[in-house]
Amino acid sequence: MQFSNGFFIQFIRLAGPFWNSENKSTIRTQALALFMLTVMQIGIAVIITEWSADLFNALEQRSMSGLFLQIGLIALIFVFNIAVTTAHFKVKRRLQLDWRSWLTHRLISLWMTNGRHYLITHIEGAHDNPDGRIAEDIRIATESAIELCHSLLYCSLLIISFTKILWTLSGTVILDLWFVEIPIYGHLVWLAIIYAACASSLGWWLGKPFTLATDARQTVEANFRFGLVTARENSLAIALVHGEANEQARFIGLFRDIVHAWQRQTQTWSHLFMLTSGYSVLSMAFPILVSAPRYILGSISLGALMQSAQAFQQTAGALSWPVDNMARVAEWRASVERVLGLVNGLDKLEQEIVRADPHRIQLKKAEQNVLRFCDLCIIRLDGIVCVQSINAEIRPGERVLITGNAFTGSKLFKAVVGLWPWGEGSIELPDDQVFFMPPRPYLPTGTLRSAICYPSTQIDYTEIELTEALDLVGLDELHEQLDRVDNWASALSREQQQRLGVVRLLLQQPKWILLQEAMDSLDSSCEMKMLRLIAQKLPDAAIMTITHEPLAEAFHQRRIVL
Q: Is pLDDT above 60 for 6? A: yes
Q: Measuring CA to CA, which residue among 509, 496, 483 is closest to residue 440?
A: 496
Confidence (pLDDT) at 514: 94
Confidence (pLDDT) at 236: 66
Cis omega before residue 421 (within 30°)?
A: no
Q: Is pLDDT above 90 for 88? A: yes
Taking only the tens place, the pLDDT of each residue in 384-432 is: 888 888 999 999 999 999 998 888 899 999 999 888 888 899 999 998 8
Q: For the whole prediction, is pTM greater than 0.75?
A: no
Query: Which CA distances in Å does 173 have to 168, 182, 277, 468?
Result: 12, 8, 31, 96
**Mean pLDDT of the region 530-545:** 93
In a shared domain, residues 21 and 84: yes
Q: Say what percent of the chain tops pLDDT 70.
A: 94
Q: Say what percent of the chain tops pLDDT 90.
A: 32
Confidence of residue 99 (pLDDT cuts 50, 70, 90): very high
In a shared domain, residues 549 and 422: yes
Tell me the pairing of strands 371-379 and 558-561. unpaired
Confidence of residue 2 (pLDDT cuts 50, 70, 90): very low
Taking only the tens place, the pLDDT of each residue in 473-504 is: 999 999 889 999 988 888 898 999 999 999 99
Confidence (pLDDT) at 497: 93
| Single-letter code of the amino acid located at 420 | W
Confidence (pLDDT) at 511: 93
Confidence (pLDDT) at 1: 44
CATH number (domain holding residue 213): 1.20.1560.10
Single out the residue in 333, 354, 375 at which a domain terminates.
354
The span from the CA of 452 to the CA of 450, in Å, is 5
Confidence (pLDDT) at 222: 82
In a shared domain, residues 336 and 394: no
Confidence of residue 83 (pLDDT cuts 50, 70, 90): very high
In a shared domain, residues 471 and 548: yes
Taking only the tens place, the pLDDT of each residue in 437-475 is: 999 898 888 899 999 998 888 788 888 999 999 999 999
CATH number (domain holding residue 526): 3.40.50.300
Confidence (pLDDT) at 541: 93
Confidence (pLDDT) at 531: 93
Q: Is pLDDT above 80 for 112? A: yes
Q: Measuring CA to CA, which residue among 503, 489, 508, 357 is closest to residue 421?
A: 357
How would you class 121 by CB atoms within 10 Å of its CB: exposed for 0-12, middle for 13-18, buried for 19 or more? exposed
Taking only the tens place, the pLDDT of each residue in 270-308 is: 877 777 777 667 767 777 777 777 778 777 777 777 777
Single out the residue in 354, 387, 402 at which a domain terminates.
354
In a shared domain, residues 130 and 197: yes
Confidence (pLDDT) at 356: 66
Which helix (H) or strand (E) element contains residue 352?
A: helix 326-354
Confidence (pLDDT) at 431: 86
Query: Which CA distances in Å does 47 have to 40, 54, 162, 165, 347?
Result: 10, 11, 11, 11, 52
Taking only the tens place, the pLDDT of each residue in 118-166 is: 888 877 777 877 888 888 899 999 999 999 999 999 888 888 888 877 7
Q: Is pLDDT above 80 for 344? A: yes
For residues 190 and 88, which has the higher predicted lDDT (pLDDT)? Answer: 88
For residues 381 and 338, which has the higher predicted lDDT (pLDDT)? Answer: 338
**Mean pLDDT of the region 349-376:** 83
In a shared domain, residues 228 and 202: yes
In a shared domain, residues 217 and 326: yes
Q: Measuring CA to CA, which residue among 194, 215, 188 is closest to residue 339?
A: 215
Least confident range of 74-83, 99-108, 297-306:
297-306
Confidence of residue 195 (pLDDT cuts 50, 70, 90): confident
In a shared domain, residues 25 and 140: yes
Q: Is pLDDT above 80 for 518? A: yes
In a shared domain, residues 231 and 324: yes
In a shared domain, residues 320 and 406: no
Confidence of residue 544 (pLDDT cuts 50, 70, 90): very high
Confidence (pLDDT) at 358: 67
Q: Strand pairing partners for 363?
A: 427
* Mean per-residue pLDDT of the chain: 85
Half-sphere exposure of 519 (CA within 13 A, CB side): 25
Q: Find the distance separating the first CA and the last CA of the chain, reported in whole Å.
A: 54
Confidence (pLDDT) at 188: 75
Q: Measuring CA to CA, which residue among 418, 417, 366, 410 is closest to residue 392?
A: 366
In a shared domain, residues 38 and 124: yes
Give backbone dihedrals phi and psi of 483, rounded to 5 degrees, phi first: -105, 10
Confidence of residue 101 (pLDDT cuts 50, 70, 90): very high
For residues 172 and 328, which has the higher predicted lDDT (pLDDT)? Answer: 328
Half-sphere exposure of 133 (CA within 13 A, CB side): 22
Number of domains in the chain: 2
Confidence (pLDDT) at 80: 92
Domain that holds residue 378: 362-561
For residues 17 and 313, which has the higher predicted lDDT (pLDDT)? Answer: 17
In a shared domain, residues 549 and 470: yes
Single out the residue in 338, 354, 370 at which a domain terminates.
354
